[in-house]
Amino acid sequence: MTTFSERVKVQGRSLWSRNADKGVSLRGERLRREGKNEWRQWNPRTSKLASGLLKAEKSGLLPNSGTTCLYLGAGHGTTISHLHDHLCGPENKFNGQIIAVDLSTKCIRSLVLLSKSRPGILPILSDCRDLISISPFLPKRVPWIFQDVSQKGQVHIFIKTCKKYLEDGGTGLLSLKSASERNTKQAFEEARKALVNEGFTIVEQIDLTGWEDKHVLFHVVL
Amino acid sequence: MFPDESGNESAPHSGQNIGTGESTPLLNYLLVIVAKLRFRTYFNIGICTLVVRLVWDWRLARIYDSQEQVFDEVVWDGHRTTAAIIVRLHEIQTGRMTAEARILAERFPEHDLSEPINFSNWPELNIEEKKALEKATICIAEKSIIRASSEPDNRLDHMIRAVDDLRMTHNSLESHVVEWISLILPWVDIDYKRSEIMHSFSKSSDLKELAKMLGVESSDVSLNQQEWIAMRSLAKNVVAQELAVDDLEKSIREIANTHLPSLSLLLGPLLAAKLCSAAHGIGRLARLPAGTIQVLGAEKAFFMHLRQGTDPPKHGYIFQHPWISKSSKRSRGPIARMLASKAAIACRCDYFGGKPWTTKEIAEIEKKVGEIRSRR
């Protein structure tokens, strides 16, 4: 049994997070009781962070509880909800904050609904290429940035965002979808080069094959 | 306006100065006085060079000196309601100054602008501030969703797709019902009387009545009562679908006529709406070149042309316009080209607030269409 934190662990072959919103299964995940705690299964097929956690060989993928995190490409909030389990806890008792940015109104709608039952989530409808529109919500640099925006120039967006918002020694996670880049075959290699050139230290390049094909999760430190 | 006349008195919150590491409090005080008197804020007085940087977020504004020490600070002391925070966040988002930043900007006219994120000693949000920011952010998100949905583009898009789907299911369901009837009443002319069949079927209570309504002999096929009920409810459904298609089209026409007046006048409201939805909104349609508008809806043929070198498509959705579809094959290309460029102009008139077109312009274009037709 591997434990990532007090609230995230691997048991058997699956990943579990301790449910911050007791009794609620967001997308029909399995819930399991263990004494006073309730654990919620974190499906690696719908969450690249989960598959990264299961495949990573080095630690340090998750942020510390109670910090502020930036999440670009929040989607419908599946990963966000598990991250919230870890970062904020029930009724946000750790005082963490997740700044969740997405471009689609549909996604923001489900995030707004999610944030009602899980305080600590800040949904922002914005294009993540437009960094100024996020700036009022982020007065300080953050220790953890995750980006999952399958679109052209993902690496460039990631570099720009990290340069502006990631604090020294902070962790950046970039989920790169090779099919979104023009040069599909060399996408990973090019991204690696670009990140190194910009001064990032690549801790690990996690291949998500098996859970999410043609995706790689870059774990970098600024 | 000199600050010593009125600027400082009108400021709601006087600045507090915080001693830097190297300079004495007295010297610092003198520096502030000098700066307030609108002398140069860049100057040397032996110990430190004064380059001030103005920094603000929604809670406070600060002046930093070149050693990243806080030099002056104004904190927002107003009532921190969600509405007020939203206004401030919006100000920052659009690059404007908050009230505190303006006070400091007046106090130190020669400042450099900088971002709070670059300063390690910028204060963290405390728990109340975090909660307040969260509340305001959710409010902003809700508002932005409503703003996005109140744009006619999005609603038009949904209705166009709905009407397409509805028509498709309507066609296939209708053909199921008609084929079924042609099995039990083989004498019905299903081509000639197609439009009547549905209505008569949905109103009749048994096979005999249906045959009578359609004016043919009844057959003695032994029908299960349940089968009859099932097929008749399907027929009723098809009739209801027809009405729904009509309603949807009516409302699309209404929206298109107000949202795209010139384009609707030129191409008809339904086609105008379809082009708008195919281009992902009026804003993008207005920026598309006429050549693209001409082949919108013929993407398959167009990319086949790019990949395999087949002939390029002459027209996309715009083909539905009777000027093109009712012309001879030879003149369709030139007319489509001309109509697409006029459509581009009309759409730009609508989007950028030009004068809406009247029937006069349309008549001129129609004349041009006639010329092209007669030339070929």
**Tens of pLDDT, residues B188-208:** 887 877 878 888 888 888 888
Is the pLDDT reported for residue B161 higher than 70? yes
Report the number of distinct structural domains present in chain A: 1
CB within 8 Å: B144 and A120: no
Pair B8, B134 in one domain = yes
pLDDT at B318 over 90: yes
pLDDT-based confidence at residue B322 (cuts at 50, 70, 90): very high
Counted residue by residue, chain A has a size of: 222
Q: B317: pLDDT confidence band, cut at 50, 70 and 90?
A: very high
CB contact under 8 A, A140 and B122: yes
Amino acid residing at A56:
A
pLDDT of residue B10: 37
Q: Which of B90, B95, B117 sits opposite A138 (nearest CB)?
A: B117
| Neighbour count for residue B262 (Cβ, 10 Å) | 24
A82 against B22, higher pLDDT: A82
Q: What percent of chain B has pLDDT over 90?
A: 42
Task: Please tell me the total count of domains within chain B.
Answer: 3
Residue A93 near chain B (CB below 8 Å): no
Average pLDDT over residues B143-165: 88
Per-residue HEC secondary structure of chain B comes to CCHHHHHHHHCCCCCECCCCCCCCHHHHHHHHHHHHCCCCCCCECCCCECCCEEEECCCEEEEECCCCCEEEEEECCCCCCHHHHHHHHHHHHCCCCCHHHHHHHHHCCCCEECCHHHCCCCCCCCHHHHHHHHHHHHHHHHHHHHHHHCCHHHHHHHHHHHHHHHHHHHHHHHHHHHHHHHHHCCCCCCCCCHHHHHHHHHHCCCHHHHHHHHCCCCCCCCCCHHHHHHHHHHHHHHHHHHHHHHHHHHHHHHHHHHHCHHHHHHHCHHHHHHHHHHCCCHHHHCCCCHHHHHHCCCHHHHHHHHHHCCCCCCCCHHHHCHHHHCCCHHHHHHHHHHHHHHHHHHHHHHHCCCCCCCHHHHHHHHHHHHHHHHHC
CATH of the domain at B111: 3.30.420
Please give, rounded to a whole number of angstroms, the shortest distance from the CA of A164 to a CA of chain B.
Answer: 8
Domain co-membership, B123 together with B187: no
Model pLDDT, residue A23: 83
Read off the tokens for B318: 């715009």
Report DSSP state, residue A148.
-
Is A22 part of a structural domain of the chain?
A: no
In chain A, residues with a C-beta closer than 8 Å to the C-beta of B87 are none
Would residue A36 count as lying in a domain? no
Question: Does B157 lie in the same domain as B144?
Answer: no
Task: Give B70-114 pLDDT, tens digit per residue.
Answer: 888 888 888 888 898 998 898 888 888 888 888 888 888 878 887
Q: pLDDT at position A72, please?
A: 92
Q: B133, B148, B163 — which closes off a domain?
A: B148
Flag whether A24 is in a domain.
no
Residue B48: closest CA among B21, B26, B74:
B21
Of A122, A140, A165, which is closest to B137 when you measure between CB atoms? Answer: A122
CA atoms of B318 and B267, how far apart (whole Å): 8
Q: Are residues B348 and B322 in the same domain?
A: yes
Closest residue in B to A91 (Cα–Cα): B131
Using a CB-CB cut-off of 8 Å, the residues of chain A touching B125 are 139-140
Say if residue B175's pLDDT is above 80.
Answer: yes
Rounded Cα distance, A156 and A144, in Å: 17
For residue B12, pLDDT over 50 is answered with no
> Are B116 and B211 in a shared domain?
no
Residue with tokens 């006639």, as numbered in its chain = B370
What's the gap in Å between the CA of A123 and the closest CA on chain B?
6
Answer with the one of B148, B164, B193 that is the final residue of a domain: B148
Torsion angle in degrees (nearest 10) through CA of B345, B291, B151, B271: 90
Which of these three, B148, B166, B187, is where a domain ends?
B148
pLDDT of residue B20: 39
Residue found under tokens 């009247």: B358
Confidence of residue B25 (pLDDT cuts 50, 70, 90): low
CATH of the domain at A188: 3.40.50.150
CA distance B146 to chain A (A): 9
Q: What is the mean pLDDT of residues B269-282?
A: 92
One domain, residues B128 and B35? yes
Beta carbons of B59 and A139 less than 8 Å apart: yes
- Domain for residue A214, yes or no? yes
Q: Are A100 and A134 in contact (CB under 8 A)?
A: no
Q: Scanning every residue of chain A, which has its alpha carbon at the shortest distance from the alpha carbon of B55?
A: A139
Lowest mean pLDDT among B44-58, B260-274, B294-308: B44-58
Provide the residue range defining the domain that includes A50.
Answer: 44-221
Distance, in Å, from the CA atom of B337 to the CA atom of B358, rounded to the nearest integer, reads 21
Q: Domain for residue A84, yes or no? A: yes
B40-58: average pLDDT: 62
pLDDT confidence of residue B315: 92
Q: Are residues B182 and B80 in the same domain?
A: no
CATH number reported for the structural domain that contains residue B291 in this entry: 1.10.246.90
Q: For residue B58, which residues of chain A lie inside 8 Å, CB to CB?
A: 136, 139
DSSP code for A139: S
B139 and B184 assigned to the same domain = no
d(CA B246, CA B11): 63
A87 in contact with B, Cβ within 8 Å:
no
Which residues in chain A show pLDDT less than 70? 1
Could you tell me if B300 and B243 lie in one domain? no
Q: Supply the pLDDT for residue A35.
A: 85
Give the domain extent around B330. Answer: 260-375
Pairing mode, if any, of strands A31-34 and A37-42?
antiparallel
- pLDDT of B149-158, one tens digit each? 788 888 899 9
The C-alpha atoms of residue B39 and residue B250 are separated, in whole angstroms, by 68
- Sheet arrangement for strand B70-75: B70-75, B60-64, B53-56, B112-113
Give yes or no: residues B202 and B271 share one domain. no
Q: Does A97 touch chain B (CB under 8 A)?
A: yes
CB B234 within 8 A of CB B176: yes
B9 and B119, same domain (yes or no): yes
Residue A27 lies in a domain: no
- Residue B1 pLDDT > 50: no
Task: Tell if the CB–CB gap between A140 and B137 is shorter than 8 Å.
Answer: no
Q: Quick check: is A68 in a domain? A: yes
Q: A94, A20 in Cβ contact below 8 A?
A: no
> Which tokens hold the place of A155?
């690496």
Q: In this structure, what DSSP letter does residue A63 have?
A: P
Does residue B17 sit in the same domain as residue B116? yes
Question: Do B343 and B278 form a contact (C-beta atoms < 8 A)?
Answer: no
Mean pLDDT estimate for chain B: 83
- Out of A133, A135, A140, the one facing B124 most closely (by C-beta) is A140
Q: Looking at this protein, which amino acid is placed at residue B287?
A: R
- CB-nearest partner of B130 from A97, A116, A123: A97
Q: By the CB < 8 Å criterion, does A160 face chain B?
A: no
pLDDT band at B186 (very low <50, low <70, confident <90, very high): confident
* Domain presence at residue A121: yes
**CA–CA min distance B135, chain A (Å):** 8
